[in-house]
Amino acid sequence: MTDLRSSERLRLRQLDRDQLSRYQLARLNQLLSVVLPSNRFYSERVKDVSLPLESLEQLSEFPLTTKLDLVGEGQSQLAENRTYPSDHYVRFHRTSGTSGKPLGVCDTSVDWHWWIETWQFVLDAAEVTSHDIAVLAFSFGPFIGFWSANDALAYRGAMVVPTGGMSTVARLRALIQLDATVLCCTPSYALHMAQVAAEENLDVSRSAIRVIILAGEPGGSISSTRQCIEQQWGARVVDHAGATEIGPWGYGNAAGRGLHIIESEFVAEFLRPGSDDPADDGDDAELVLTTLGRTGSPVIRYRTGDLVRPRHGHPGSDRFVMLEGGVVGRVDDMVVVRGVNIYPTAVEQIVREFPEVGEYRAIATRKGNLDSLTVEIEAPDDTTEQIAAELYLRLGLKITVQAAEAGTLPRFKAKAQRFLDQR
């Protein structure tokens, strides 16, 4: 893959919809010409489709791909969509398993370069330069996000400080002592680090951190969560979204209103939740993505399971489609409590508007035929009634809010699990 300079990335972001569609079509046909002769998984699925495609609309003739399709029926832990024999691959990573069985995904050296180049859109949004020092507050296990961030930052020329194996206090002291300017972590861990810093009398708002790149959870595009992190750290938040089986597909909108899809590297479709029919602009939709530069492990019309609200023709010079509010939930995460549809992100948006809340957890239970939802918060007792009133006003459901002692609710360094359905 040819290196893209910042000027070329800017040009791509400013293409009008017709120009972008022509660019995507050329990339898609190129991908298919490389992949289909060797990729048994997709050659069998698209054998009745006439190639090359003459328009992006013909993409709808391809079957949709799900994670279950990639898992396959055998005992192998590797995804089924590999194009080449195993000796062509240099990277192995694994999905988090938040939606079913963990899945091993492989990349060739060319694919990995595509990951690094695509990540540069995220670093552009964060205004990262070769003068930055970036702390990666992750454990560095088999998940792909922090590895790709590490290599993308190094590729840009920034100093990278991996902190796998460190305690939270050690990470805080390291970023302060090194005058680190960039922090990469999950929203939950950014909040946790700030809380630990306050307990240790470390003022992170006076540190050199100027931008925090968030990933792994929706919080970076939830206005109350983002504002809480920005206030505690005295730094700007830039959201990011990606997935092991797809790639680094999204970066934060400059105004903090949501995520832009990197449409030069992905074709995005939006389906009505629970349906194969297209969704209207601005409506809740399931995000479907097709990779344009990943030949070793491509995905075509992949159902991400992410619930989004697409906006085309939004204000600003960046013309890539924007997802209002980022990833607003999971299609399979929505719970129905007494007839009311509740998304975890909606609960978080409200709870995080109360800065006195340290941590929280929501639990759905059932007694007999009656469902109920309880939200536990680490906050003063007099806050519970205020939060309960706000939840009822905005969600239309009476929710019990209970105070918990500070430090008693679970903390998370990676993806948080704050919404428990025990019915």
Domain boundary among 312, 330, 348: 330
Is the pLDDT at 347 greater than 60, yes or no? yes
- Phi first, then psi, for residue 265 (nearest 5°) are -115, -5
Q: Are residues 372 and 311 in the same domain?
A: no
Distance CA 174, CA 350 (A): 33
Query: Could you give the number of structural domains in the chain?
Result: 2
Domain boundary among 280, 306, 330: 330
Q: Are residues 313 and 360 in the same domain?
A: no
- What global pTM score does this model have? 0.84
Distance CA 316, CA 2 (A): 28
Q: How many of the other CB atoms lie within 10 Å of CB of 420?
A: 12
pLDDT, position 190: 93
Domain boundary among 303, 330, 357: 330
Q: Are residues 368 and 298 in the same domain?
A: no
We report the CATH number of the domain holding residue 413 as: 3.30.300.30
Q: Are residues 54 and 186 in the same domain?
A: yes
Distance CA 265, CA 281 (A): 21
Give the residue from 284, 241, 28, 287 showing the smallest Cα distance to 20.
28
* CB neighbour burial string for 61-72, b if at least 16 within 10 angstroms, e if fewer: ebebbebebbbe
Is the pLDDT at 274 greater than 90, yes or no? no
Instruction: Give per-residue pLDDT as tens, 22-50.
Output: 999 999 999 999 999 999 999 999 888 88
- Adjacent-strand bridge partners of 289: 268, 302
> What sign results for the dihedral spanned by CA atoms 373, 305, 144, 85?
positive
Long-range interactions of 277-280: CB distance < 8 A, separation 24+: 279/310
Distance CA 185, CA 164 (A): 12
Is the pLDDT at 153 greater than 60, yes or no? yes
317 or 308, which is more confident: 308
Q: How confident is the model at residue 2 (pLDDT cuts 50, 70, 90)?
A: very low
The domain containing residue 360 runs over which residues?
335-421
Average pLDDT over residues 274-285: 93
Q: Are residues 262 and 205 in the same domain?
A: yes
Q: Are residues 308 and 356 in the same domain?
A: no
pLDDT, position 99: 47
Q: How confident is the model at residue 296 (pLDDT cuts 50, 70, 90)?
A: very high
Indicate the residue type of 104. G
What separation, in Å, do the N-terminal and C-terminal C-alpha atoms of the chain show? 49
pLDDT, position 101: 61
Q: Are residues 270 and 356 in the same domain?
A: no
Distance CA 386, CA 375 (A): 13
Q: Are residues 22 and 87 in the same domain?
A: yes
Indicate the residue type of 191. L
- What rounded mean pLDDT belongs to the chain? 91
Preceding omega of 278 cis (within 30 degrees of 0):
no
Distance CA 20, CA 171 (A): 42
Instruction: Give per-residue pLDDT as tens, 81-127.
Output: 999 999 999 999 988 654 456 689 999 999 999 999 999 999 999 99
Q: Residues 376, 361: contact at Cβ < 8 Å?
A: yes
Q: Are residues 106 and 196 in the same domain?
A: yes
Q: What percent of the chain has pLDDT over 70?
A: 95
pLDDT, position 185: 93
pLDDT, position 3: 61
Distance CA 314, CA 323 (A): 10
Q: Are residues 135 and 260 in the same domain?
A: yes
We report the CATH number of the domain holding residue 93 as: 3.40.50.12780
Distance CA 53, CA 346 (A): 40
Instruction: Give per-residue pLDDT as tens, 181-235.
Output: 999 998 888 998 999 999 999 999 999 999 999 998 878 888 999 999 999 999 9
Q: Are residues 247 and 205 in the same domain?
A: yes
Instruction: Give per-residue pLDDT as tens, 317-340.
Output: 899 999 999 998 888 777 778 767
Q: How many of the other CB atoms lie within 10 Å of CB of 390?
A: 16
Distance of CA 269 to the CA centre of its chain: 17
Instruction: Give per-residue pLDDT as tens, 377-397.
Output: 999 988 999 999 999 988 888
Give the residue from 245, 216, 242, 243 showing the smallest Cα distance to 78.
245
Q: Are strands 182-185 and 133-136 parallel, antiparallel or unpaired?
A: parallel
> What sign results for the dihedral spanned by CA atoms 371, 376, 380, 386?
negative
421 or 137, which is more confident: 137
Q: Are residues 310 and 359 in the same domain?
A: no
Torsion of CA 24, 30, 31, 34, to 10 degrees: 180
